[in-house]
Amino acid sequence: VQPPHHTIMEVKRSTMDINSLSSDIQQRFDTTFIIYDNTSNTTYLRGRLLGKGGFARCYEMLNLDSNRIYAGKIISKTRIAKPHQKQKILREVQLQKNLKHRNVVEFVSYFEDDQNVYIILENCSRKSLVHVLKHRKCLTEPEVRYYLRQLVDGVDYVHSNQIIHRDLKLGNMLLNEAMDLKLADFGLATRVDYEGEKKMTVCGTPNYIAPEVLQKKGHSFEADIWAVGCITYALLVGRPPFETTTLKETYQRITQNNYTLPSSLSTSVKNLIRRCLHPEPVSRPTLQDILSDEFFTCGFLPHSLSPACCTAMPKFP
């Protein structure tokens, strides 16, 4: 099958561009792997693999028109052959498309060719807090204030757009070059269509699942607050609050609200975690309550973090 005329033109033009690229870029990007976005007339070169997900492989992508680097999720059409699988990806794109906030990964473009679908996103070159915690085991309270404030800001923006994320976890908290936190992955997210609407089910398995979601009692924005509590705990302790060796036991503990707070934690953060992990959704704090909690107001909150914090414990004044 002959590609449309403009595709040939684009690839020719970009081949010319490739010859003028710096040797650094030529080494970092595969100049034989050209990806053409026919929705915006943009040509990309594929670079190094950033990570693998359930469906997608995520690569650095160089936009040859702007010379800027993005993250491109590439999903083989053979992996999403069933209509509901593609539907799910399109829903994710629809939810994320119009969101624009400094703590939410920016959506750039969605397009397809014969083999793949492509989702182009803002590049988060320092990976996720999973990677940080792997090196660090646990973080200091000032660092947790730094990450948590940005998480709460991002989630607040998402909620103000009537979207519940439903899968807040360390792997969905990405970091860009400057160590800004970016909330990612709207694969389990949902839109609340009217005030007070309760969602009954989630299509998928959220990592930090709230008891009301587990028990299918009807859930809403408060399920994300529960996850914020789990994230705070995990960052400070190095493991999730309800972790056991089996999913069944973990779910039992969540239902029984059975977790322990190490005595090494400050009183203020213990109180904040307890409030977020309240079994009754209505009794949990709002996002604004979290930011005005004593944990934030009575301790050091760094304005920026050095990238060295990804691998080594920082010293604060």
List active site positions. 167
Based on CB atoms, which residue is closest to ligand ADP, 48 or 315? 48
Q: Token digits for 76? A: 């083989």
Q: How far is the CB of 128 from ligand ADP (least distance, A)?
A: 6
CA distances from 150 to 24, 42, 59, 143, 219 (A): 33, 32, 25, 11, 24
Based on CB atoms, which residue is closest to ligand ADP, 18 or 69? 69
By CB under 6 A, residue 168 contacts ligand ADP: no
By CB under 6 A, residue 184 contacts ligand ADP: yes
Q: How far is the CB of 169 from ligand ADP (least distance, A)?
A: 10
What DSSP string describes the chain?
-PPPHHHHHHHHHHHHHHHTS-HHHHHHSEEEEEEEETTTTEEEEEEEEEEE-SS-EEEEEEETTT--EEEEEEEEGGGG-SHHHHHHHHHHHHHHHT---TTBPPEEEEEE-SSEEEEEEE--TT-BHHHHHHHHSS--HHHHHHHHHHHHHHHHHHHHTTEE-----GGGEEE-TT--EEE---TT-EE--STT--B---SS--TT--HHHHTTS-B-THHHHHHHHHHHHHHHHSS-TT--SSHHHHHHHHHHT-----TTS-HHHHHHHHHHT-SSGGGSPPHHHHHTSHHHHTS---S---GGGGTS-----
Q: How far is the CB of 182 from ligand ADP (least distance, A)?
A: 7
How many amino acids of this chain bind ligand ADP (CB under 6 A)? 21
By CB under 6 A, residue 53 contacts ligand ADP: yes
By CB under 6 A, residue 71 contacts ligand ADP: yes
Q: How far is the CB of 177 from ligand ADP (least distance, A)?
A: 11
The binder of ligand ADP chosen from 7, 55, 286, 301 (CB under 6 A)? 55
Chain positions 198 to 257 lying near ligand ADP, rule: CB under 6 A, are none
The binder of ligand ADP chosen from 37, 167, 185, 224 (CB under 6 A)? 185
Q: Chain centroid to CA 239: how far?
A: 19
Which region among 121-129, 133-141, 257-265, 304-312 touches ligand ADP (by CB under 6 A)? 121-129
Which region among 25-33, 49-57, 247-255, 305-313 touches ligand ADP (by CB under 6 A)? 49-57
Q: Is 198 annotated as a binding residue?
A: no
Based on CB atoms, which residue is closest to ligand ADP, 21 or 93? 93
Task: State the residue number with the nearest CB to ligand ADP.
Answer: 53
Based on CB atoms, which residue is closest to ligand ADP, 53 or 218? 53
The binder of ligand ADP chosen from 69, 95, 105, 210 (CB under 6 A)? 105
Phi, psi of 80 (to 5 degrees): -125, 45
Based on CB atoms, which residue is closest to ligand ADP, 105 or 181? 105
By CB under 6 A, residue 111 contacts ligand ADP: no
Annotated binding site: 82
Annotated binding site for ATP: 82
Interface residues toward ligand ADP, by CB under 6 A: 50-56, 58, 71, 105, 121-124, 127-128, 171, 174, 184-185, 187
